[in-house]
Amino acid sequence: MADNLFLLAVSLLSVSAMACLCLAMNRHAFDLSKSGGRLPLPPRIFRRLGWLLVALVLLVTVARQGWSFGLVAALGCLTAGAVPVLLLASYRITRLAAVGLGSGGIALVVFAVSYV
C-alpha cells in the first residue's frame, strides 16, 4: 500500500515538474496569453521550479529504491508525467498552470499520508 502511494506521489510530482517546464518555454507562454490566460509566475520561476521538481523526483526515488530501481522508476514517472502535460498543452493550455501547481500540492499531501 505504501509503495502504491509513493508511486502516486512521485507521478503527481512528475506531472507538476513537466507542467512547470512546459510553461517556462516562450512558445507555450505565448500560446497561453494568446488564448486568454496568463501565467501566475514569470517563466524563469517556472523553469527553476520545474528543474527543482525533477531533481526532487530523482532524489526521492533513488533514496527510497536505490540507484538501480529508483532511477528507472524516476525516468518512467517523468515520462508518464509528460503525457497529460502534452495533451493539456495541445488542447487546454489555459488549464495547464492549475493542473501543474495543483498536482504538486496533492503530491505533498500524498507524501505526508504515506509516511504517517
State the cell numbers at 62. Answer: 533513488
Please give the mean pLDDT across all residues of the chain.
86
Report the amino acid identity of residue 86: L
Hey, what's the cell of 54?
A: 525533477
Domain boundaries, given as residue ranges, for the chain: 2-115
pTM (2 d.p.): 0.88
pLDDT > 90? residue 82: yes
Q: Which among 11, 26, 22 has a CA at the least distance from the CA of 90?
A: 22
- Given its phi and psi angles, is residue 37 left (phi above 0), alpha (psi -120 to 50 degrees) or beta? beta
pLDDT band of residue 1 (cuts 50, 70, 90) is low
